[in-house]
Structure 1
């Protein structure tokens, strides 16, 4: 097997983070969560999926480049109105969700609202999309980023869009885990080091002290995991986003 690309490494970590069974949801602008969920379901996880286009348990013929394209919800067993989907989240009946943000700080707060600028007007971002509620009501929340950059991981976010049940932050370089109300490194990609991850992170990092169910070294994707990814994404939608 040829060496996996960073895209498959990130997706494999996301597949492993998903529960063995339960209700999961992927939202708008969430192509990697969408691919990871469908690949994990093919891998054998018993997941009931709520799609961004408001269908339950879709069985798409192909995955689109946007989670808001109708094919993402094709052949769903039920059409769920947006208000009803948010009610599902609000009642705590969603078991897992992947989220992302422009900034994630040392204490697990996420910012998708505004970036403060020293030399000009603040930059407004799209906003939370229910993030404040999601982080408080979904049983397990994992954040993900396709790149690991210092500006993404400041000591404090510029604006707190949401904070709550964050478990892991998954990037191509590392997995950070909430422990004692701060993000600590639980696993590092083979070939990278804690110093390299620290150079790409603005806040000071520590290693986790407790067993988190994750190895210190992130295992390479298996042939079975890669096969599942390729079968649900034969068009290579995952490569539309740069990952490193």
Structure 2
């Protein structure tokens, strides 16, 4: 499909949906509209038995309605199949039963370290960030931690993070330019989006790019785009890009 027929956010949402498999148990937290939409897309396309968990505790909410202005909204309890509170999600993950956790951060380095705590010195930071919250527990314990980030620049992907909020077990990182995969102790370039190029990824990454072959991310199909409009008519998935 021509790149002019879809947006980067659509590509990222579909790429994330394609990472999810049927029967997996998947969790997203606050400020997570993009993965929330991706979960619903996966359920409608190829993973009808996927289990959707979220902050309010609604298991498999009926839909992401026009009222779901927040990915932590109580509206996600409407029509849900069951109630599963947040503290049990942490317990589920620590018992090795959470297949996928969607999380984010502010800085990432080639070793898969995630910083969500401070920019600059910890004692005298330039910026004090929210901190680890759930990511400090879920990234190390979930079977697969998927990171998404709507910015890809040298301040985000750095040689060494200013502070290690959590480390290890990052599976993939999805950005507006590419997808990284963590293997052999380092981030590797898995695919470049058709809307970007190897040169652009290099220019905006603060560490050396490691890759075997140059691959491109699979673009959305017409069916994908139609489903996205049906699932997310208010375009909540674009909120982080605004």
What is the TM-score when the length of structure 2 is the normalising length? 0.91
Residue 146 (structure 2) aligned to one of 134, 142, 146 = 142
Quick check: 1:109–1:161 contact (8 Å CA) kept in 2? yes
Matched residue, 2:15? 13
Separation in 1, partners of 2:125, 2:140 = 31
2:124 is the alignment partner of 1:125:
no
Distance 1:226 1:153, change over 3 A: same
Task: Show CA shifts across 1:118-162 (max 9, x none).
Answer: xx7432111112212212211111111112111110111111111
Residue 169 of structure 2 is aligned to residue 165 of structure 1: yes
Structure 2 match to 1:178? 182
Runs (5+) with no aligned partner, structure 1: 210-214
Give unmatched runs, 5+ long, in structure 2: none
- Aligned ranges 1:203-242 → 2 under 5 Å: 203-208=207-212, 216-242=215-241
Q: Aligned pair in 2 of structure 1 residues 73, 146: CA closer, same or farther (>3 Å)? A: farther
- Root-mean-square deviation (CA), in Å? 2.0
C-alpha deviation, 1:59, in angstroms:
1.1
Q: Tell me the distance in 1 between the aligned counterparts of 2:58 and 2:14.
A: 25
Q: Give the 3 Å change call, closer, same or farther, for CA 61–218 of structure 1 in structure 2.
A: closer
Residue-by-residue CA offset, 1:24-47 (whole Å, 9 max, x unaligned): 011111111111101111113121
* C-alpha distance in 2 between matches for 1:51 and 1:219: 27
Between 1:145-154 and 1:122-131, the stretch displaced more is: 122-131
Map of 1:108 onto structure 2:
112
Q: 2-side partners of 1:206 and 1:172: how far apart?
A: 18
Deviations 1:3-59 (A, max 9, x none): 101110111111111123211011111111111101111113121111121121211
Residue of structure 2 in register with 1:212 after alignment: none
What displacement does 1:72 show? Answer: 2.6
> In structure 1, what is the Cα distance between the partners aligned to 2:208 and 2:195?
21
How many pairs are equivalent?
237
Query: Residue 44 of structure 2 corresponds to which residue in structure 1?
Result: 42
- Pairwise CA distance, 1:179: 2.2
